[in-house]
Amino acid sequence: MGHRVGAGSGQQFARRLAPPPGIVAPHAPVPIPNARSILRFRLGALLAAQLFDFGTFTIMVGRHGIEAEANPIVAQGFMSFGLPLLAIGKAAQVVLVGSILVILGRVLATGSLTRRIATSIAILAVAGGVVGGVSNVLVH
């Protein structure tokens, strides 16, 4: 029962081929985002898109007047109650949609249908904010 010739040389060879610390090997598994990080991303995107819409609205109204607003409900609300009502409405919209996303993310987090519904709601809310903001910017 002697010593094997070359014992341990395979381990030394594998260490030589390993990438240096801090470098990810190409075969390393890619981390999958968890549900909490996805929810944070959705809420952040929702808030950013709606703030973009509101910010561009205030600039547009300052430059071109309320007549430039394409949405008659928003225009009427602005003429009747001013900017504070629209700010409260925008905040309520973000809270409502954000709450729906949180509830869908927590209650039935394992169901694929629930994930699809939450994703669809987030995409529609973000798209609405972006489209509103872009339409405000494109006013001449």
pLDDT single digits (tens) 5-39: 555 555 555 555 666 666 665 666 656 678 788 88
Its pTM stands at 0.72
Does the pLDDT value for residue 1 go beyond 60? no
Does the pLDDT value for residue 100 go beyond 80? yes
CB 130 within 8 A of CB 48: no
Boundaries of every domain in the chain: 33-137
Name the residue among 130, 124, 115, 99 with its Cα closest to residue 33: 115
pLDDT single digits (tens) 65-90: 999 998 999 999 999 999 999 999 99
Does the pLDDT value for residue 4 go beyond 60? no
